[in-house]
Structure 1
Amino acid sequence: MALVTLSQPLFPAGDIVMTQGVSDLIQRGALNPTPYLQRHLTGDWGDLCDEDRRTNDAALKHDDRLFSSYQVTPALKLWIITEWNRSVTTLLLPDEY
């Protein structure tokens, strides 16, 4: 059996909160946000352009806001935003921004 090594978080998540839309999807079993949150915290910014990736990489060093976007299904996109001071990480749907 192979062991899976998970990357260590690059920054603290702070309090993890979610919008009503994300909560509803989780309750219906239509979304498991855990792998996307893990990706966000380890610097896998998901489906961002190169410029936005570079912005996030710089934000890690300069304590700015971090943003990730994940295409969960063709019809479902999840955004994750960690505030500049790392006090809160919010899971939301694009139309809830």
Structure 2
Amino acid sequence: MSDSRQGEARPKFALGKVYATPGALQLLKRWKQDPTALLSRHVRGDWGLVHPDDAAANDIAVGRGLRIISSYLAGPEGPGGEGEVLWIITEADRSATTLLLPGEY
């Protein structure tokens, strides 16, 4: 793919143990969103809604063993959409990945 933000077919890094905060679980349940779909995007390098500078930092973080942060919209997208933001953070040592709301950081 020509756009690295769309990700690749294979995982770029290990997720470690996967955790989700209560707020993230409620959000996913409310919008009937599958967390595995978001985790799949994250691990393949589709960083979602992050700023292009942050996406570039994530690309560097993959190779250097630094923390990786993605941001996705759960719920309806597009004009008038009521979607809510969910973050996924993988720790630098790749021991854990957490799904959380921005306010829970």
| TM-score, normalised by the number of residues in structure 1 | 0.85
Of 66, 69, 92, 1:67 maps to 69
- CA-CA distance at 1:29 after TM superposition: 5.7
Aligned position for 2:89: 81
Which amino acid in structure 1 is aligned with residue 96 of structure 2?
Answer: V
Partner of 1:55: 57
The residue identity in structure 1 corresponding to 2:68 is L
- The number of residue pairs the alignment matches comes to 92
Q: 1:25 aligns with which of 15, 27, 30?
A: 27
Q: 2:28 & 2:59 partners in 1: Cα distance?
A: 29
TM score, norm. by length of structure 2:
0.79
Q: Deviations over 1:34-85 (max 9, x none)?
A: 2111000000000111110110011011100000001223331110000000
Answer with 30-39 or 7-16: which moved more: 30-39
Q: CA RMSD in A?
A: 1.7
Q: Percent identity?
A: 43
* Matched residue type, 1:84: A
Deviations 1:15-46 (A, max 9, x none): 00000112223445633212111000000000
**Residue 71 and residue 29 in structure 1: after superposition, are their counterparts in 2 closer, same or farther (change >3 A)?**
closer
User: Take 1:91 and 1:30, find their aligned partners in 2: how far apart are those partners?
Assistant: 15
Change over 3 Å in CA distance of 1:60–1:75 after alignment to 2: same
Give ranges in structure 1 of 5+ residues lacking alignment.
1-5
Moved more, 81-90 or 21-30: 21-30
